[in-house]
Amino acid sequence: MKKLLAAILVVITSAAYIGYFGLVKTAQAEKPCDFLNKHENYDYMFQFKIAASRASKQKDGLEKLRIFTDAVARCQKAAQQGDADAQNSLGYMYALGRGGITKDEAQAAAWYRKAADQGFAPAQSNLASVYISGRGVTQDKVQGIAWYRKAADQGDIDAQRAFGFMYANGTGGLPQDKAQAIAWYRKAAEQGDTRAQHALARIYDKGDGVSQDKAQAVAWIRKAAEQGDAYAQYRLGERYHKGEGVAQDYAQAIAWYRKAANRHEPSAHYRLGEMYEKGEGVAQNKARAARWYCGTIGQGGAPYEAKAKVALERLGKLNCW
């Protein structure tokens, strides 16, 4: 037993060692702002700073913190030297108060402006959002639309989607125009933007400004699902389950629900529970149904969680532990 525990400890220590030095290597090889953007959860390191500094056993955490602190400093330096990408990233950090930087929406807008003035499309889109909302600047929807236009004309997906949303709802200083909404959503969707793909699916599903077309709706849902979007995978499973826009196919429904459930989509867990409880496309199995219903609990899907609890009571399972 002692030898086994020692072997496990060696494996764990080696993994931590490799992970730490892999992080160092990556941080050194990449542009600092790119490194930070690829590790979107890095901010936890700064939240961890005080607790870590009080515990010597957290040495590994402190070393990682130093890596990210250095990356933030180098990103700031690049921004000050005129790098548009870095300026946009620094604006984002100020906007959210990330990387140990105090939240300051005016500073965020100022850095976005520096990058936008250099023609950097993502910054133009961010600056547009700032003017539309009035965060850190005096609200100016005309300015916002102008900056969105500059970004969208360069193919910026966020700007194209924003135009789609504003035209669909008549917001942001634009009139409601369903045809324009569809055109802009399509530009973003054809570049692989899953949110725009979902929007087009809803438009075709309801016939909102176009002839209702369930098959077109499914086609856009499928595009998002095939990119790994969990909610789209659930929606595609639901279409096969109900036979909407496609021929009913329980096997396909289960396959897509499973993909979504593996990405922690609570609604997919619930639907799989239903199918096992009713024996739809699978042998009826109430124990397995209960396990899927339990998978719905605590995943942030309040309506399905409530339904799952009712289903578990119906199956006589009082808890999931």
Q: Which residues of the chain have pLDDT under 70?
A: 1-30, 38-62
* Identity of the residue numbered 172: G
Give the pLDDT score at 201: 98
* Identity of the residue numbered 320: C
Q: What angle do CA 272, 267, 227 make, to 5 degrees?
A: 95
Give the pLDDT score at 23: 42
Give the pLDDT score at 299: 83
Q: Which CATH homologous superfamily contains domain 155-231?
A: Tetratricopeptide repeat domain (1.25.40.10)
Give the pLDDT score at 39: 64
Cα–Cα nearest to 20, from 54, 70, 63: 63
Residues 72, 97: Cα–Cα separation, whole Å: 12
Give the pLDDT score at 26: 47
Element (H, E) at 234: helix 230-242
Residues 309, 321: Cα–Cα separation, whole Å: 13
Per DSSP, the residues of 136-183 read SS---HHHHHHHHHHHHHTT-HHHHHHHHHHHHHT-TT----HHHHHH
Q: What angle do CA 222, 223, 224 make, to 5 degrees?
A: 90
Say if pTM beats, i.e. exceeds, 0.85. no
Give the pLDDT score at 101: 86
Give the pLDDT score at 59: 55
